Amino acid sequence: SAVISQKPSRDICQRGTSLTIQCQVDSQVTMMFWYRQQPGQSLTLIATANQGSEATYESGFVIDKFPISRPNLTFSTLTVSNMSPEDSSIYLCSVGEGLMNTEAFFGQGTRLTVV
Amino acid sequence: AQTVTQSQPEMSVQEAETVTLSCTYDTSESDYYLFWYKQPPSRQMILVIRQEAYKQQNATENRFSVNFQKAAKSFSLKISDSQLGDAAMYFCAYRSDYGGSQGNLIFGKGTKLSVKP
């Protein structure tokens, strides 16, 4: 299975600032996904990141707020911009793997607290 | 759009006993994948078990097994011989196998499992 390293593991940020979360995979993968998990809630897809193309955002998420980079097949970043307390969540990156992309593995998650 | 429903917000089981977590889903697709993930307090999402919709045989992984009822759109997880380390949030998830799908997972709201010693 893919090994996914996500950094930072946690951070406390001031409102109005931005935080960039990194996701590094130990193998080349086509699809990378970013999810948000609000306190006590399930995971919601923010966007899908393919290498060499613009990320595809889900309804309710916009590029200006959550810009994503995917410079190569093993790395992606998610930035949470102009943060407010409502952005306090766990952010997780995920990759698909295996034949027909049937496996899905996750990074350790980033616990973000905005004060 | 596909949806996943976990109707049990919390469950409790005695150590060494068996517990079943429920999951139902709604889809018009015939080919898809279903997953159970475990999320302990460390927040790491751990894949527990996976089921391909085209397979009639229920998936098993050691103490974990599923009851997949495709017609009923039901996908329950059975944990046998429960251990203290099984205590966690459990999420049921759906992934489309449709060619136009992005490949992302759709999650249920989760079931918090407690294991009593």
Block means of pLDDT (10 residues each) for chain A, 115 residues, are: 90 98 92 92 92 88 96 94 97 76 81 97
Residue whose tokens read 């009923």: B72
Q: Maximum CA pair distance of chain B?
A: 47
Q: How far apart are the first and last CA of chain B?
A: 41
Is A59's Cβ below 8 Å from some Cβ in B?
no
- The pLDDT value recorded for residue A104 is 80
More confident residue, B10 or A54: B10
Tally A–B CB contacts below 8 A: 58
The pLDDT value recorded for residue B101 is 63
Alpha helices in A25-103 (DSSP H): none
Give the pLDDT score at A52.
Answer: 77
The whole-number pLDDT of residue B66 equals: 97
User: From the CA of B83, how many Å to the nearest CA of chain A?
Assistant: 23
Tell me if B43 and A109 make a contact (CB, 8 A cut-off).
Answer: yes
Among A47, A44, A96, A90, which residue's Cα sits nearest to residue A73? A96
Assign B12 a pLDDT band (cuts: 50, 70, 90).
Answer: very high
Q: What is the DSSP letter of A41?
A: -
Question: What integer best gives the mean pLDDT of chain B?
Answer: 93
pLDDT of residue A97: 64
What's the whole-number mean pLDDT along residues B40-62?
91
Cβ–Cβ gap A102/B110 under 8 Å: no
